[in-house]
Structure 1
Amino acid sequence: MTDLSEGRGPRGGAGTIPALDAVSFGPFSLRSRLLQKDGVPVKLGSRAMDILRLLVSRAGEVVPKSEILSYAWSGLSVEEISLRVHVAELRKALGDGKDGVRYITNIPSRGYCFVAPVQRGTRAEPPAPASVPPDKVTPSPSLPHRLDRMVGRDEIVAELAPRLLRDRFVTLRGPGGIGKTTIAVALAHDLSDRFEGNVHFLEFGPLKDAALVASTVAAALGLVVHHNDPSGSIVNFLRARRLLLVLDSCEHVIDAVARLAEDIHREAPGVAILATSRESLLVAGEQIFELVPLPGPPQGARLSAGEVLGYPAARLFVDRANAAGHRDDLTDEDAEVLVQICGKLDGIALAIELAAARVGLYGLREMAALLDSRLQLEWRGRRTAPPRQQTLGATLDWSFGLIGENERAVFQRLAVFAGHFTLEGAIAVAAEEGTPEDRVIDALEQLVAKSLVSSQPDGASRRYRLLDATRAYAMQKLADVGDAHVIARRHACHVQRTLESGLAAQGGSGQVSRSQQRVGLLADARAALAWSYANDDGADLRVPLAGSCTGLFVELNLLNEARIWSDRALAMLDDAGRGGRWELELQSTLGHAFMFTERNSEQAEAALRRGLEIAQALGDHANTFRLLSRLNMYYRRTGGYRHLVPTARHAERIARMIGDTAGIAGSKALLGVSYHLAGDQAEAQAHLDEGMRDDAALRGTQPGHFAYSRTPQIPLARVLWLRGYPDRALECVLPLVGASAPRDVVMHCIALCWSASVFGWVGDWSAVETMSARLATHASMHGLVPYEAVATGFRAQTLIAHGEVTGGIDLLRSALPRLHADRYELYMSAFAADLARGLVSSGRLAEGAQVLNETIDRVEREGGAFDMPELLRLRGELEAQGGNLHAAEASLVASAELAERQGALSWQLRTEMSLSQLRERQGVGDPREQLAKTYARFTEGFETADLRKARLMLNPPSA
């Protein structure tokens, strides 16, 4: 609501309402106290005008009658009939009700609500949706199933759809159990085609920690973030996208949701937000849609059965009663009782459904009596309402009293699940030792039939959950009988066994995607960890539970959580636990998390080496391979090239011991990239070619596999160029940046980086510019800060290549310190060489030589690298430019010899071109003889930059 206060007019008065700057609704516009229809003034009395202005200023809200009277008749005591008279005048002037158009509705016993869409000022319109046939749109996997039959809410869904498309940010507000989620699911399904299936449904009910709201949204969007607050990454990701974001059950984490939703609404004009909450988010851009109870028949009226069924509350009751097995037709006599029941249930959908499910057992009249004696619903104001579980507490007390002891026990115990659960999970937490499992199965079946537990299909199986209000109620009952800690322990043990067994890592056969299964497990993993670390009863579970959860955190890219829990658990290890499987899992996770969240710190290496030591001692080959692979990545990132081949060789031996085809292919990829970076391109190509033969098996691995995310194709492209096959290198690159891009977000960054380097080597700088832009976007989206610096470095390369030297130098001056601070040395030498080249071309030879020599010294200390021939070549050129021809020749000869030893024909060609120019300057023999021999060894790539330059040197144009 805008905050431009304006007085009530000439009569003054007690209150103010927001100024209405050219608001419009339908054909009407309202400015100050002037109402116009299609530009023609509409005559309206002053009281009616006051009422209109007040209602319009709070459009979508129910304004109490007392508040309207106080505003329009300030200081006067008038009867309510006066209000009705002026509302009738207002409705007549607006044509309310004609041709189905509605502006003002009366909410019995509450007040009036302006229901027409109101436009205030101008808004940025989201991009127009592409026309996609509904039958071609694939429903979002995060979107729950819609009810086969929704009673009494179709008109609301129809009204909300255009409002959400226009306003982009609507909060569906109402008390618990009223049906907000049902409407949100239906609306999301209806609008799915308008967003080409891009609908993300986030259920915040299981989330207990508001600090995890942004991480939960990021995970649902498929983002990888490695910092505590991913809000900025989420906004960056959504900024240019068109999708529908449904934020369900926000009230218990409302501050965090409100901040994030406001940022998204402001910065991402193509995103529509539908929130459901018991209270408003109270942020800019939010439009409130108050969900009122289902209308029921007026109390005391004598209506026929047909007339009673014209009211949604009664229709829902009969529909759910029939679904529960009640088959008797509704008579006119029954209709009188049903009117009473609807009145007592107050139009709350959940209460209606709970009561209707028992009609088959007790009949209508008995049900009405039970409602009088056992069920006393309370309805309170939104902000002064008691805790969530109390809103429908009386309804649930009554329902709880109608089920047997066995069902009660199972119902209470199931409350420990934070989200969906399986039949196996229900048995694990609800079955007593020595008690037949059938008792739990029977009880669960009855709880589903009696609407206390919801159920939905998952392929050939089913998933279950308690509605949030029901779960809170059941949890309180569990605490009342003193079993909360016992059941929480069972739940923690079940979570540990589920994760430890690897069932989740193998994926499911049902319709629910792997990511949904993992997110579902995440809620229970967090709940189990929180309980075990907060209660002494769970002390013995803390280490094994954290150890079991770490793989889940890593797979979902929640690396901060992985680091925190691994660190906490390791601090609790006793002597008996040191050197065991849990320390192995925790150290492995801690090292991996440190590598990405703590700037490749020495702590990362220490943790990975400790994990490797334990894995080897335990004979755990899969974890030995995984840790060797992670150490290899650590050394790649930090420039420790001398460690690469030994760790990769070790990993290959382990893969062969395991005997897994994908694992062996993964070890070949590891060996290939290690030999490539260490400077042996012949060995690199041999291993990568071998790995490519089983690449299909490798690509088919799931995140739980020890060789997951290894792919030989990424380094192979660079090796092919270095070996003298530029055309094959480009053929290898193109799938990596197209439809066959790696699934893993980090590997996708690596593919973009290494593809950019290949495009730069062949001289396609427009492609480098494209790759750097994609890399910057992808890295920013997923919070991968070091890769943003790499993208800056590639952008600087393109500037220097295009002659914009000053801009390139400035960008490299900003990127290199950032990479150094992150200990991310992999790209430092290439970018430092570009900086030296740029400095020299701008007349700063000494400064450029210093940068280059420092880079060569650093690389030599680490045992050399694949690009050392190029660094030596560049040093020779700078020495020649400075007049030291003897030193230049030594550097260039060393470069050529090293390139030959490395099997890097393309480096050798570059060096021979530099040597040819030097020898021509020295006047020594035939300066192009060796260049011609090297050029003759190429069989392809003749239109790439280096080969065109060499050809021109060998065959200069005639004067």
Structure 2
Amino acid sequence: MSTTSSRKGFEFGPFRLFPAERLLERDGKPVPIGSRAFDLLTAMAERAGEVVSKSELFARGWPGMIVEESGLRFHVSALRKALEEGKDGARYIANVPGRGYCLVVPATAFGAEVQRPPAAARSDSAIATVSRGLPLGREDTVPDLMCRLGRDRLVTVSGPAGIGKTTVAFAVAAAERDRGAREVRIVDLAGGQDPALVGAAVAASIGISARSEDPTNEILGFLADRPVLLVLDNCEHVLTSVAPLAERLYLEAPSVQVLVTSREPLRVLGEHVVELPPLPVPPRDGRVTADVLLAYPATKLFLDRAAAVGFREEVTDEAAATIAALCRKLDGIALAIELVASRVGMLGLAETAALVDTRLRLLWQGRRTAPPRHQTLAAALDWSHALLSENERRTLRKLSVFAGTFSLSAALAVAGADMEETDAAAALDSLVSRSLVAVRRDDGAMRYRLLDTTRAYAAQKLEASGEAASTARRHAAAVLAILTEERAGTSPEDRAARRARERALLGDVQTALRWSFADLANRDLSIALAAHACSLFIALSLLHECRQWSSAALALAGADELDDRTALALQAALGHALTFIDGNDDAARDALERALLIAEGLADREEQFRLLGRLHMFHRRADEVSRLLPIAVRMQEIGTALGDPAGMAAAHTMLGVSFHLAGDQGAARLHLETALGMAEFERVTPGHFAFHRNPIIALARTLWLQGCPDKAVEAARPLASDDASADVVTRCIGLIWGADVFRWTGDWATFQALAERLDTLAVRHSLRPYQAVALGMRGEALIRSGQARAGTEFLRSALKVLQAHRYELYMAGFGSALAEGLALLGRAEEAIAFVGTVLKATLTRGSGLHLAELYRIRAGLHAALGDAPRAQADFRTAIATARAQGAVGWELRAATGLARLCGHAAALQDALSLFEEGFETSDLGEATEELARLRARTT
């Protein structure tokens, strides 16, 4: 018999809403509510589970009126009070920051047309708990599952605890119910621990009485020709009974669709497994803003749950970055995100983020209405842990020492201490099937990892077992073995693939180092780890970590106690790190020279080559140009003796850089183009940096100096793109030297953009000298734009830092710019004195690159003071110096200045005749105009 209702409305929780009567009842009793609050509630009830925008709510509550947002908040607050939100954990309305409000409980429509079906045909009441609309981040998953069920009929949704398997299954059930094409039955098996009772639970759900101990035949007889969707929820602990039943339903009941949720597959005939992925999170390398959070389901869910518990803070970009990092740390697991977000209202975002790294998050309580296994993260994991064998439990807790992904061999090395290797491998395979260990394929190799929450849970179990110290030692030994293997590898490979593997290893290297150095009993292991890890730190541009661990290892044992190989690795790494972090001080040079002596004693030419490259960089940064050519020649000799094409290409590059900085641009171009033509420079090894990898860095500037501006710009474009696959040192130098070309050709917009990019990169990696270079570049741009006072201050600050770090390479270039800024401020005499100081230092160090330009600038300063003889002398010295160096670019500038001073066109005409391109650049434009003016004056 059916029952009907003559009144229409919506029912949610204990409330019934009658829009036509403008009445809200709770358990049959009227609830006083204001008129506008009633309209707002009605709008949200009509679209329960969806966000109703603020503009829609304004239109509904205040049609035709302009209202402040505070008015909307006031009435929503009154509405929450009327609904007694918060009492006994009740929650009805969520604020979605930046969007609107949402009724977050299911609202069922009722009315005259709605009839209740007889009990025998009624869908399972569990479906009533499903919100209208699709779950966050599963908009494609639900339709896909419905399509799969229609085709395959037996589908298992698998995944780790809390990822949302039940939510998705219930959404599929609700969608199928709404379609009306088949009956829907849901069997929640979470509460039954006895596999023998599975049949009885299924029989009760479909509405038949189980007359036998195993009612499978009765279930099949009843469902044989019925179009039914049977949802078997939470099956992992009763698989021995669910699996045969599901298989028989697939084989003998062709009208039945079976949807299973389980943390591991059934492994039966006909089963199609769908691994439910985590909710998408903002990428680690992208810029996260408040708007971006709403585009990703994980962060959107976090905001929704946080708002529901009273989080009202403004979501700034800083807060957005914190929320994104939290959701990444929680691996996009819906339950973990909900539980952590539930603490934000009470603790605040910053405190919650700090506590997430502690064990407290495993115990944070969720919704009281949630199943017991979902009340806390620990309870969710206890549910899975209880189903494991002893070998599986032992393996899981030992795997918690891995910070990132790990290989099968590493897993067996750590977990196989007290069991057979085959048993450990079998346990790992079982943990994968139970969704406790994630697995992915990288470059054909299987990589494993524990989700962050699972790792924290397993780490507790490891500590309680008393096996933590022995497991940590095995982990450190395994990491050392991997590092040793990595260092020994010589086969060329894709740079991006190598970098990805290095980053994946980083967390475990850091973990192993921290553990081993905390216990002096592990001295030998600690030193060996540090020696091998430093190559990884350098490759990943983690120079502070390189300095920390190399110096710690050297302090742990005197130099006499170390074998030569270990001492070589540590001294070389320390010298390299100190060069970029603490400046070109004596400690950096001493470490590099000690390492070189050891390499010579070992007759290790490859290490000698690498160390000579680092010493070349040290002296280059100190602008000790006279020392560069002998080092480069020695590198060429070693490269030739080794017969290593990559080394020979790198040696040519070092020779080219040496000649370029000394002022011989013809020789520089010859060597740089030779290196570029060899192509082997692209072969990357951990010891190759900057110019070793890319001779174009120096070639671009050389081309401009030789009178090829267009070719120079073409070569500099890739440097401006800032290749993220290169190490940070190479990227910084590429940006600086590439910017020179754009400065010299007059493209100040690109120059400024490169300065900003350099500053960002230097700040991110705490490279203070490169920050100073970026500051100096910004000072140059300010002077060029007419802001001479601010520009000179920037340049003075930059020069002060560079001098403190003994980073003299850019002193001449910035000194030239500072002198021009002082002249614009009317301080020409001070500028002349300053240029004289810079010239003296430049000549002393043998640096010829900026020599002609310094003479030209001083000439212009003399001319500004009316001292034509000195000005003319400096202009002519600049022209002669530039011509001797093959620096046509400098010669043209000096010849233009001389023509303006004296009216002599011959030198200017000679310089212009050397150019075949670049006539759109600023220098050639000015020179051409000046020559035309002089010719017009003589006719």
Query: Structure 1 vs Structure 2: percent identity of aligned residues?
Result: 34
Letter of the structure 2 residue corresponding to residue 942 of structure 1: F
Residues 1:27 and 2:43 aligned together: yes
Residues 1:629 and 2:613 aligned together: yes
Q: Is the 8 A contact 2:699 2:715 kept in 1?
A: yes
Q: Which moved more, 1:895-904 or 1:559-568?
A: 895-904
Letter of the structure 2 residue corresponding to residue 626 of structure 1: R
Sort the Cα spacing of 1:587 and 1:49 in 2 relative to 1 into closer, same or farther, 3 A: closer
TM-score normalised by length of structure 2: 0.64
Q: Is the 8 A contact 1:591 1:606 kept in 2?
A: yes
Letter of the structure 1 residue corresponding to residue 936 of structure 2: S
In 2, Cα distance between equivalents of 1:511 and 1:733: 22
CA apart distance, 1:755 = 2.5
Letter of the structure 1 residue corresponding to residue 412 of structure 2: I
Q: Is the 8 A contact 1:698 1:708 kept in 2?
A: no
Sort the Cα spacing of 1:686 and 1:494 in 2 relative to 1 into closer, same or farther, 3 A: same
CA apart distance, 1:672 = 1.6
Residues 1:153 and 2:164 aligned together: no
- Kindly provide the CA deviation profile for residues 300-327 of structure 1, in whole angstroms up to 9, marking residues without a partner as x: xxxxxxxxxxxxxxxxxxxxxxxxxxxx
Residues 1:831 and 2:814 aligned together: yes
In 1, Cα distance between equivalents of 2:922 and 2:493: 51
Residues 1:53 and 2:37 aligned together: no
* Corresponding residue of 1:44: none
CA apart distance, 1:679 = 1.5
CA apart distance, 1:694 = 2.7
Sort the Cα spacing of 1:902 and 1:522 in 2 relative to 1 into closer, same or farther, 3 A: same
In 2, Cα distance between equivalents of 1:586 and 1:22: 73
Sort the Cα spacing of 1:468 and 1:580 in 2 relative to 1 into closer, same or farther, 3 A: same
* Corresponding residue of 2:285: 221
Residues 1:687 and 2:687 aligned together: no
Residues 1:38 and 2:74 aligned together: no
SS at match of 2:165: coil
Q: Is the 8 A contact 1:735 1:741 kept in 2?
A: no
SS at match of 1:743: coil
CA apart distance, 1:684 = 0.7
- Kindly provide the CA deviation profile for residues 846-903 of structure 1, in whole angstroms up to 9, marking residues without a partner as x: 1111221121122223223311111122223333444545544443443333223322
Aligned residues: 708
Sort the Cα spacing of 1:715 and 1:615 in 2 relative to 1 into closer, same or farther, 3 A: same
- Kindly provide the CA deviation profile for residues 383-440 of structure 1, in whole angstroms up to 9, marking residues without a partner as x: xxxxx8x65686567445x44xx6565555444333332211123234459x864343
Unaligned runs of 5+ in 1: 1-19, 42-47, 69-90, 101-112, 118-133, 135-144, 159-176, 193-198, 201-219, 223-233, 297-342, 349-378, 383-387, 921-926
- Kindly provide the CA deviation profile for residues 830-856 of structure 1, in whole angstroms up to 9, marking residues without a partner as x: 222122122223322211112211211
SS at match of 1:464: strand
In 2, Cα distance between equivalents of 1:481 and 1:855: 68
Which of 414, 427, 449 is the equivalent residue of 1:429? 414
Sort the Cα spacing of 1:885 and 1:501 in 2 relative to 1 into closer, same or farther, 3 A: same
Residues 1:660 and 2:668 aligned together: no
* Corresponding residue of 1:419: 404
Larger radius of gyration: 2
CA apart distance, 1:663 = 2.8
Which of 503, 506, 515 is the equivalent residue of 1:522? 506
Q: Is the 8 A contact 2:578 2:588 kept in 1?
A: yes
Letter of the structure 1 residue corresponding to residue 285 of structure 2: L
Sort the Cα spacing of 1:761 and 1:739 in 2 relative to 1 into closer, same or farther, 3 A: closer
Q: Is the 8 A contact 2:812 2:838 kept in 1?
A: yes
Sort the Cα spacing of 1:549 and 1:897 in 2 relative to 1 into closer, same or farther, 3 A: same
Which of 719, 722, 728 is the equivalent residue of 2:705? 722
In 1, Cα distance between equivalents of 2:104 and 2:428: 57
Which of 448, 451, 475 is the equivalent residue of 1:464? 448
Which of 791, 796, 799 is the equivalent residue of 2:779? 796
Q: Is the 8 A contact 1:668 1:688 kept in 2?
A: yes
* Corresponding residue of 2:751: 768
* Corresponding residue of 1:731: 714
* Corresponding residue of 1:958: 936
In 1, Cα distance between equivalents of 2:352 and 2:513: 38
In 1, Cα distance between equivalents of 2:647 and 2:549: 29
Letter of the structure 2 residue corresponding to residue 958 of structure 1: A
Equivalent positions of 1:286-305 (< 5 A) are: none
* Corresponding residue of 1:932: 909
In 2, Cα distance between equivalents of 1:152 and 1:707: 53
CA apart distance, 1:942 = 3.5
* Corresponding residue of 1:97: 108
* Corresponding residue of 1:942: 919
* Corresponding residue of 1:314: none
- Kindly provide the CA deviation profile for residues 593-642 of structure 1, in whole angstroms up to 9, marking residues without a partner as x: 22332244432222222222222322333332222222222223232222
Residues 1:648 and 2:632 aligned together: yes
SS at match of 1:462: strand
- Kindly provide the CA deviation profile for residues 6-37 of structure 1, in whole angstroms up to 9, marking residues without a partner as x: xxxxxxxxxxxxxx999977836999xx9996
CA apart distance, 1:546 = 1.0
In 1, Cα distance between equivalents of 2:37 and 2:585: 57
In 1, Cα distance between equivalents of 2:294 and 2:687: 32
Which of 884, 887, 911 is the equivalent residue of 1:904? 887
* Corresponding residue of 1:131: none
Q: Is the 8 A contact 1:663 1:706 kept in 2?
A: no
Which of 74, 88, 91 is the equivalent residue of 1:65? 88
CA apart distance, 1:266 = 4.6
In 1, Cα distance between equivalents of 2:90 and 2:793: 63
Q: Is the 8 A contact 1:692 1:712 kept in 2?
A: yes
* Corresponding residue of 2:348: 283
CA apart distance, 1:525 = 1.2
In 1, Cα distance between equivalents of 2:724 and 2:571: 30
* Corresponding residue of 2:798: 815
Sort the Cα spacing of 1:152 and 1:773 in 2 relative to 1 into closer, same or farther, 3 A: same
**RMSD (Å) for aligned C-alpha atoms:** 5.3
In 2, Cα distance between equivalents of 1:885 and 1:710: 47
Sort the Cα spacing of 1:469 and 1:580 in 2 relative to 1 into closer, same or farther, 3 A: same
Q: Is the 8 A contact 2:381 2:457 kept in 1?
A: yes
- Kindly provide the CA deviation profile for residues 770-817 of structure 1, in whole angstroms up to 9, marking residues without a partner as x: 443444455455554444443343343344334443443343344333
SS at match of 1:502: helix
Letter of the structure 1 residue corresponding to residue 544 of structure 2: N
TM-score normalised by length of structure 1: 0.62
- Kindly provide the CA deviation profile for residues 653-703 of structure 1, in whole angstroms up to 9, marking residues without a partner as x: 3333333323322222222222211222111101111011134x4335365
- Kindly provide the CA deviation profile for residues 326-369 of structure 1, in whole angstroms up to 9, marking residues without a partner as x: xxxxxxxxxxxxxxxxx8xx344xxxxxxxxxxxxxxxxxxxxx
In 1, Cα distance between equivalents of 2:758 and 2:110: 55
Sort the Cα spacing of 1:744 and 1:535 in 2 relative to 1 into closer, same or farther, 3 A: closer
CA apart distance, 1:152 = 1.4
In 1, Cα distance between equivalents of 2:83 and 2:549: 51
In 2, Cα distance between equivalents of 1:411 and 1:285: 31
SS at match of 2:684: coil
Sort the Cα spacing of 1:889 and 1:546 in 2 relative to 1 into closer, same or farther, 3 A: same
CA apart distance, 1:482 = 5.1
Sort the Cα spacing of 1:691 and 1:673 in 2 relative to 1 into closer, same or farther, 3 A: same
CA apart distance, 1:762 = 2.5
Letter of the structure 2 residue corresponding to residue 423 of structure 1: L
Equivalent positions of 1:535-934 (< 5 A) are: 535-578=519-562, 580-695=564-679, 697-701=680-684, 710-738=693-721, 743-780=726-763, 783-917=766-900, 927-934=904-911
In 2, Cα distance between equivalents of 1:617 and 1:704: 19
Sort the Cα spacing of 1:57 and 1:737 in 2 relative to 1 into closer, same or farther, 3 A: farther
- Kindly provide the CA deviation profile for residues 273-298 of structure 1, in whole angstroms up to 9, marking residues without a partner as x: 746455434436999999968989xx
Q: Is the 8 A contact 1:498 1:504 kept in 2?
A: no
Q: Which moved more, 1:438-447 or 1:542-551?
A: 438-447
Letter of the structure 2 residue corresponding to residue 65 of structure 1: D
In 2, Cα distance between equivalents of 1:93 and 1:689: 67
Sort the Cα spacing of 1:800 and 1:487 in 2 relative to 1 into closer, same or farther, 3 A: closer
SS at match of 2:506: helix
